[in-house]
């Protein structure tokens, strides 16, 4: 009998992926983790029934969360990743020789250990000597930090369950304090298309706008996330993602990237009219 993974985007629209075989399933104190193998997306895992990472399109998300801020400030040395248990974000960061420290704070150690077992494509660099793993709540971790990080990447689940606190005003304020004078915060910004996600996008943007001097949003095309149209927030104490875009320096690193390039960088901040109007409304 055919086996399908279904993720409901709304009550009447779903993403459906034909599964070759279920690989592993576990309920942790934080969430339910499932690994599958599939025909079109290779191996993938879900948290509480939501697609997280698959072998085929993960490069898009991880290119866009990391290389956009790195091309704005190529001198970044200290990075904090909150969430990101699959390791894909850390993998892209470790490609920069000048980065000195990567702190990754993941609430659920089982996500990391299972990705190390079943998803080496993303988890392969978690043992890089510049990486320190903390198995803690990112909301608590960031409270004790001040004027330290050049970059904070919030690679989180949606604002339900353990990820809820990562979309709050107090968390964003703590991130602001934890960043140094040129610090950049990139955060999961949900999707503009379906209402349920759009509401979360607007709430996040409205809060960040009240705290950060620079507060922009950029888009990317993610086939397996709701509607395929997904956003990150770019918030900073001083650097602007377009005015301070240092394409020349970034290109001199000669990194081979499959999705990100200097033209995508510029284009990603040019939003469709309805998205721009929505963001201006908060
Ligand atoms: N790329 C993915 C996406 O947007 O669907 C997210 C990747 S990653 C798997 C998300 C991780 O955030 C999960 O492993 C989850 O355990 C972690 N997480 C959720 N809430 C957290 C919190 N409060 N502190 C630290 N990590 C958290």
Whichever domain contains 202, its CATH number is 3.40.50.150
Average pLDDT estimate for 17-26: 98
Mean pLDDT rounded to a whole number for the chain: 96
Decide: 114 in ligand 1 pocket, CB within 6 A. no
Average pLDDT estimate for 242-266: 98
Q: Among the options 34, 63, 108, 155, which is catalytic? A: 155
**Coil, helix or strand at residue 275:** helix
Q: Are residues 202 and 172 in the same domain?
A: yes
Q: Are residues 21 and 118 in the same domain?
A: no
Q: Are residues 63 and 189 in the same domain?
A: yes
**Coil, helix or strand at residue 229:** strand
CB atoms within 10 A of CB 18: 13
Q: Give the 3-state secondary structure percentages of the chain, helix then strand then coil, rounded to 5.
A: 35, 30, 35
H-type helices in 145-261, by residue range?
Answer: 169-178, 195-211, 247-252
What is the distance in A from the centroid of ligand 1 to the CA of 106? 7
Q: Are residues 61 and 43 in the same domain?
A: no
d(CA 15, CA 160): 19
Average pLDDT estimate for 273-280: 95
Q: Are residues 214 and 275 in the same domain?
A: yes
Query: Above 90 in pLDDT, residue 267?
Result: yes
Domain count, the chain: 2
Decide: 166 in ligand 1 pocket, CB within 6 A. yes
**Coil, helix or strand at residue 89:** helix
What is the distance in A from the centroid of ligand 1 to the CA of 59? 17
Decide: 65 in ligand 1 pocket, CB within 6 A. no
Q: Are 144 and 170 in contact (CB under 8 A)?
A: no
What is the distance in A from the centroid of ligand 1 to the CA of 52? 9
Provide the pLDDT confidence category of residue 1 given band limits of 50, 70 and 90. Answer: confident
Average pLDDT estimate for 161-189: 95
Of 53, 75, 90, the last residue of a domain is: 53
Provide the pLDDT confidence category of residue 34 given band limits of 50, 70 and 90. Answer: very high
Q: Are residues 67 and 44 in the same domain?
A: no
What is the distance in A from the centroid of ligand 1 to the CA of 200? 16
Query: Above 90 in pLDDT, residue 196?
Result: no
Residue nearest to atom 19 of ligand 1 (CA): 163
Of 15, 33, 53, the last residue of a domain is: 53
Q: Are residues 210 and 91 in the same domain?
A: yes
**Share of residues in the chain with pLDDT > 90 (%):** 94
CB atoms within 10 A of CB 6: 9
Q: Are residues 121 and 189 in the same domain?
A: yes
* Binding site per annotation, positions for spermidine: 62, 86, 155-158
Any idea how long the chain is?
282
Whether 2 is catalytic is no
Decide: 175 in ligand 1 pocket, CB within 6 A. no
pLDDT in tens, 75-117: 999 999 999 999 999 999 999 999 999 999 999 999 999 999 9
As beta bridge partners, residue 152 has: 80, 185
Write the burial class of residue 29 (CB in 10 Å: 0-12 exposed, 13-18 middle, 19+ buried).
Answer: exposed
Average pLDDT estimate for 224-229: 95
pLDDT for the residue 158: 87
Provide the pLDDT confidence category of residue 262 given band limits of 50, 70 and 90. Answer: very high
Q: What Cα–Cα distance (Å) separates residue 23 from each residue in 60, 85, 101?
A: 24, 18, 34
User: What interhelical angle do 273-280 and 195-211 show, nearest 10?
Assistant: 50
Q: Are residues 81 and 176 in the same domain?
A: yes
Strand 229-236's sheet: what is its strand order? 131-134, 101-105, 78-83, 149-155, 179-188, 229-236, 214-221
Residue nearest to atom 7 of ligand 1 (CA): 84
pLDDT for the residue 197: 87
**Share of residues in the chain with pLDDT > 70 (%):** 100
pLDDT for the residue 230: 95
d(CA 115, CA 148): 29
pLDDT in tens, 141-168: 999 999 999 999 999 998 888 999 999 9
* Binding site per annotation, positions for S-methyl-5'-thioadenosine: 31, 106, 137-138, 162
Q: Are residues 31 and 70 in the same domain?
A: no
Between 34-38, 193-197, 245-249, the lowest mean confidence (pLDDT) is in 193-197
Q: Are residues 132 and 22 in the same domain?
A: no
Q: Are residues 168 and 195 in the same domain?
A: yes
Domain of residue 40 covers 4-53
pLDDT for the residue 108: 98
We report the CATH number of the domain holding residue 35 as: 2.30.140.10
What is the distance in A from the centroid of ligand 1 to the CA of 251? 30
d(CA 85, CA 58): 13
d(CA 94, CA 103): 12
Closest ligand 1 atom to 105 CA: 25
d(CA 63, CA 205): 22
d(CA 236, CA 111): 29
Residue nearest to atom 8 of ligand 1 (CA): 84
ipTM: 0.98
d(CA 149, CA 178): 6
Closest ligand 1 atom to 165 CA: 23
Closest ligand 1 atom to 161 CA: 20
Of 53, 73, 93, the last residue of a domain is: 53
pLDDT in tens, 46-80: 999 999 999 999 999 999 999 999 999 999 999 99
């Amino acid at each position: 009998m055919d086996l399908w993974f279904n993720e409901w985007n709304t009550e009447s629209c779903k993403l459906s992926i034909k599964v070759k075989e279920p690989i592993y399933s576990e309920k942790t104190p934080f969430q339910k983790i499932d690994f599958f193998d599939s025909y079109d997306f290779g191996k993938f895992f879900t948290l509480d029934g939501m697609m997280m990472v698959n072998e085929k399109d993960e490069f898009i998300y991880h290119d866009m969360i990391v290389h956009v801020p790195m091309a704005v400030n190529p001198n970044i040395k200290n990075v904090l990743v909150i969430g990101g248990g699959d390791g894909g974000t850390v993998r892209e960061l470790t490609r920069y020789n000048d980065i000195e420290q990567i702190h990754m704070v993941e609430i659920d150690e089982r996500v990391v250990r299972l990705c190390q077992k079943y998803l080496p494509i993303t988890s392969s660099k978690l043992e890089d000597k510049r990486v320190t793993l903390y198995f803690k709540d990112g909301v608590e971790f960031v409270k004790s930090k001040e004027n330290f990080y050049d970059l904070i990447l919030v690679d989180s689940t949606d604002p339900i369950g353990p990820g809820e606190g990562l979309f709050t005003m107090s968390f964003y304020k703590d991130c602001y304090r934890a960043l140094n004078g040129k610090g950049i915060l990139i955060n999961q910004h949900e999707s503009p298309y379906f209402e349920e996600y759009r509401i979360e996008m607007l709430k996040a943007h409205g809060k960040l706008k009240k705290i950060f001097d620079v507060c922009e949003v950029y888009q990317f095309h993610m086939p397996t996330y709701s509607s395929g149209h997904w956003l990150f927030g770019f918030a900073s104490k001083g650097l602007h993602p377009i005015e301070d875009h240092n394409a020349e320096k970034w290109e001199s690193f000669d990194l081979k990237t499959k999705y990100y390039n200097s033209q995508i960088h510029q284009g990603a901040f040019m939003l469709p009219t309805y998205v721009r109007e929505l963001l201006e409304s908060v």
